[in-house]
Amino acid sequence: MDIKIRHLEKGDAPALRDIYRYVSVTENTSQLPYLNSETIDGFFERQNCYNLVAELGFDDVAAKVLGHVSIMTSHKMRMKHSGVLMIAVHPDAHGKGIGKTMLAEMLNQADNWLNLVRIELEVHADNAIAISLYQKLGFEIEGEKRFSIFKEGKLSSLLLMARIKPGFKP
The whole-angstrom separation of Cα 145 and Cα 135 is: 18
Neighbours of 121 (CB within 10 A): 19
Q: Which residues contact 47 (CB under 8 A, 6 or more apart)?
A: none
Residue 34 pLDDT class (50, 70, 90 cuts): confident
3-state percent helix, strand, coil for the chain, nearest multiple of 5? 30, 40, 30
| Global confidence as pTM | 0.90
- Residue 1 has a pLDDT of 61
- Residue 149 has a pLDDT of 94
**CATH of range 2-164; options 3.90.1150.10, 3.40.630.30, 1.10.10.10, 3.30.1480.10:** 3.40.630.30
Q: Domain ranges for the chain, please list them.
A: 2-164
Over 60: is that where the pLDDT of 33 sits?
Answer: yes
Percentage, residues of the chain above pLDDT 70: 96
Q: Is 77 left (phi over 0), alpha (psi -120 to 50) or beta?
A: alpha
- Residue 71 has a pLDDT of 96
Over 90: is that where the pLDDT of 31 sits?
Answer: no
